[in-house]
Amino acid sequence: MSTTPQELKERIEAGIPGARAEVTGDGRHFNAVVSSPAFRGISKIAQHRLVYDVFGTDVGERIHALSIQTMPSEEP
């Protein structure tokens, strides 16, 4: 069961309020650039945790590596 960048994008956008995500990857290693108003006023650690939380234990298993860049955005 392989993972696609599109699947990750959809899960991030569904899982984090107001999120927009651009995801690239080869099925094992992914890079996600995510913006969301939910990131406003919280630390980088907390922002990345929100993204990791979308995937739970999939990170490190099905998703071998997930590189994340987050940026707070205005309310949509």
Partner 1 sequence: MTEDTTNPIREAIKGAISENPVLLFMKGTPEAPGCGFSARVAAILESLDQPFAAVDVLPDPRIRQELSALSNWPTIPQLFIEGELVGGCDIVSEMYQSGELQQALGVDGSTGEAAGEPEAEAAQSAPLSIENRL
Interacting residues toward partner 1 by CB under 8 A: 44-45, 48-49, 52, 57, 59-60, 65-69
Residue 69 or 73: the one with the smaller Cβ distance to partner 1 is 69
Question: What CA–CA distance (Å, rounded) separates 56 from 49?
Answer: 10
Angle at 76 between CA 38 and CA 45, to 5 degrees: 20
Angle at 19 between CA 15 and CA 20, to 5 degrees: 125
Kindly state the smallest distance separating residue 74's Cβ from partner 1, in Å. 21
Question: What CA–CA distance (Å, rounded) separates 16 from 10?
Answer: 10
Kindly state the smallest distance separating residue 36's Cβ from partner 1, in Å. 16
Residue 12 or 66: the one with the smaller Cβ distance to partner 1 is 66
Kindly state the smallest distance separating residue 13's Cβ from partner 1, in Å. 19
